[in-house]
Amino acid sequence: MTMLYGGIEAGGTKFLCAVGTGPDDLRAEARIPTTTPDETIGQAIAFFQEHAESLAAIGIGSFGPLDPNPASSTYGHITTTPKPGWANTDLAGQIGRALDIPVRLDTDVNVAALGEHRWGAAQGLDTFIYLTVGTGIGGGGMVNGRLMHGLVHPEMGHVRIPHDPRSDPYPGSCPYHDDCLEGLASAPAIEKRWGHPPEALPADHPAWALEARYLALGVVNFICTLSPQRVIIGGGVMKRSGLIALVRQNVQQLLNDYVQAPAIREGIDNYITLPNLGQRAGLLGAIALAQQSIE
């Protein structure tokens, strides 16, 4: 019998669950609304129990903040999330105990990065970042061949970038930092600034030039800090046709030929890319995380 793996993309509005071995072999999937921890985690456990016989491990990519350090006493917990009822939830532990199999947990962005590394746009790289631009802005990735953790985990959406209130008087939407990258360029920031959600803004709206500029300022800072071999940008806002090309242009203009790498100077279309796995990066990455825990 083929060994199967479970994956969970644990988001603030839904848990996507799957059982399989990769992009071309998903045997079952479920979509569970995120309500209370008991209800949601209970439904996820019930889904995996149907496949318990062949299941070797489960991987979870979760919203956070969370504790991704296997050596910590709160490993696998969602920690300080403002989401009602979910703070201090032992997500990985509850599922592991119920199914009696190994469960690994990491941030949603790190897990999506792992998916892209296994099957998508980051294959063969050892240092790259994966950004997601949607309700929030998050970032993760690998450095030196391993997922980024450090003290806790990156919070790339909260970098500070130049913001000129004369040309953009919107003060920013972040409750902690006002006009950090997430506060200026997430979907809610776009909606609050312009009065319409991103998907309702026409292609020629000035929102898009500003959005590309802010995202490029963030990307340039990540390039200068980490020197990634590739920058993958996903999330709902990036579905806008042409936005990624505008980001590339702004990144090159901002770097101004300072980083003299052919990958950036001549290959920017491959250097800054959308995820190959698209909206499946997170769920497939969770399967990859489960596989990695066994290997």
Under 8 Å CB-to-CB from 106, ≥6 apart: which residues?
59, 60, 61, 62, 68, 114, 140, 147, 153, 289
Strands 231-234 and 272-273: parallel
Report if residue 59 touches its own copies, rule: CB under 8 A.
no
Part in contact with its own copies (CB under 8 A); list of ranges 22-30, 70-78, 95-103, 159-167? 159-167
**Residue 36 or residue 225: which is nearer to its own copies going by CB?**
225
25-33 vs 14-22, strand pairing mode: antiparallel
Interaction of residue 256 with its own copies, rule CB under 8 A? yes
Closest distance of CB 200 from its own copies, Å:
30
| Residues that contact its own copies, how many (by CB under 8 A) | 47
Q: Does 124 bind its own copies (CB under 8 A)?
A: no
Task: Evaluate whether 137 touches 157 at the Cβ level (below 8 Å).
Answer: yes
Pairing of strands 55-62, 103-107: parallel
* Residue 209 C-beta: closest distance to its own copies, Å: 17
Q: Does 156 bind its own copies (CB under 8 A)?
A: yes
* Residue 16 neighbours by CB distance under 10 Å: 20
When asked if residue 80 is in the footprint of its own copies (CB under 8 A), the reply is: yes
Nearer to its own copies, 26 or 254 (CB): 254
Q: Which of 21, 43, 135, 221 binds its own copies (CB under 8 A)?
A: 221
Q: Minimum CB separation from its own copies for residue 91, in Å?
A: 17
Q: Does 87 bind its own copies (CB under 8 A)?
A: no
Taking the complex as a whole, the smallest distance from the CB of residue 154 to its own copies amounts, in Å, to 5
Which of 190, 90, 65, 248 shows the shortest CA–CA distance to 140? Answer: 65
Select from 142, 290, 156, 126 the least CA-distant residue to 222.
156
DSSP SS3 for 267: coil
Question: What do you get for the CA distance between the two ends of the chain, in Å?
Answer: 17
Residue 294 binds its own copies, judged by CB under 8 A: no
Tokens of 150: 């450090």
| Distance of closest approach, residue 263 Cβ to its own copies, in angstroms | 6
203, 214 contact by CB (below 8 A): no
Q: What does the binding site for its own copies look like in residue numbers (CB under 8 A)? A: 65, 79-80, 127, 139, 143-146, 148-163, 176-177, 179, 217, 220-222, 224-229, 254, 256-261, 263-264
